[in-house]
Amino acid sequence: MRIAFLLFPSITQLDLTGPAQVLARLGGDARLDLVWRTIDPVMTDAGFAIVPTATFDTVQSADILCVPGGIEVNAVIADDDAMNWVKQIGADADWVTSVCTGSLILGAAGLLQGYRATSHWAWRDMLPLFGATPVAERVVIDRNRVTGAGVTAGIDFALSLTALIRGETHAQAVQLSLEYDPAPPFDAGTPDRAGEAIVAGFQERMAKLAPGREEELRSLAVRRGFFGA
């Protein structure tokens, strides 16, 4: 079983490393690759680099495609090489998956039309640009499309996918091995519970980090052939 993660500059590293840690424990003949244009180190949004294990040219197919997210998803959607690879792998993969804003990349590749999907709460309402139905859930399973919400939801997503592939007992054993037993110090993990002031502060920071992100994404949706955007 070959698992291919898209790796790209300014990726949110936990979107990738969280589910990768889980899916690496699928067992059997599972092989996991981190794929980018070259095998040069790729800088993440956390300030450290991750080294790809393969390139677009060397990974031509996969059983599981996983696309993580990050603040620079628009740059990925504008990248023809990256999008062509996602389309190619997703066309024949048994499982087409994403974490966080990676679902927008899947959508722009034409892989979520007519599917229910989720994303980070701050970007989820952009999914209809690509023909997807947004769902405010932590993990959304629609046929062979499995999408996780923001960042930490990648672990829940990967455990859910593990259960689908290997069964719940195997998934529970992986959860135990990772001692995944969340007990956050604050109840502020969703906009509803975080409160207006914290949500407003996040949105203000987002506007500075990615000015015009929604307008740019709408333009990219049209460029990728979604004329109803």
- Per-residue pLDDT band at 228 (split at 50, 70, 90): low
pLDDT of residue 106: 98
pLDDT over 70 (residue 55): yes
Query: Which CATH number is 137's domain given?
Result: 3.40.50.880
Give the pLDDT confidence score for residue 117 in this predicted structure: 98
Domain count, the chain: 1
pTM above 0.85, yes or no: yes
pLDDT given for residue 96 in this prediction: 99
- In a domain, residue 199? The reply is no
Distance CA 213, CA 122 (A): 11
Residue 203 located in a structural domain: no
Instruction: Answer whether residue 178 is part of any domain.
Output: yes
The answer as to whether 196 is a domain residue is no
Name every residue whose Cβ is closer than 8 Å to that of residue 80 and which is 6 or more positions away in sequence.
none
218 is a domain residue: no
Q: 163 or 210: which carries more pLDDT confidence? A: 163
Residue pLDDT, tens place only, 114-161:
999 999 999 999 999 999 999 999 999 999 999 999 999 999 999 999
Tell me the percentage of the chain whose pLDDT exceeds 70.
99
Distance of alpha carbon 120 from alpha carbon 205, whole angstroms: 15
DSSP, collapsed to helix, strand or coil, labels residue 63 as: coil
Residues of the domain holding 86? 2-186
Q: What 3-state class would DSSP assign to 104?
A: helix
**221 falls within a domain:** no
Look at residue 28 in the predicted model and tell me its pLDDT.
85
**Which residue from 118, 11, 134 is spatially nearest to 75, judged by alpha carbons?**
11
Question: What is the edge-to-edge ordering of all strands in the sheet holding 139-142?
Answer: 54-55, 31-36, 2-6, 64-67, 95-99, 145-148, 139-142
**Is there a catalytic annotation at residue 100?**
yes
Q: What are the pLDDT digits (tens) for 175-224? A: 999 999 999 999 999 999 999 999 999 999 999 999 999 999 999 999 99
**Per-residue model confidence (pLDDT) at position 229:** 54
Q: Is residue 28 part of a domain?
A: yes
Tell me the per-residue pLDDT of 63-98, one tens digit each, with 9 for 90 and over. Answer: 999 999 999 999 999 999 999 999 999 999 999 999
Residue 217 lies in a domain: no
* List of residues 6+ apart from 155 with CB closer than 8 A: 18, 19, 21, 22, 178, 180
The whole-angstrom separation of Cα 163 and Cα 75 is 33
Amino acid at position 90, single letter: G
Selecting among 54, 77, 83, 100, the annotated active-site residue is 100
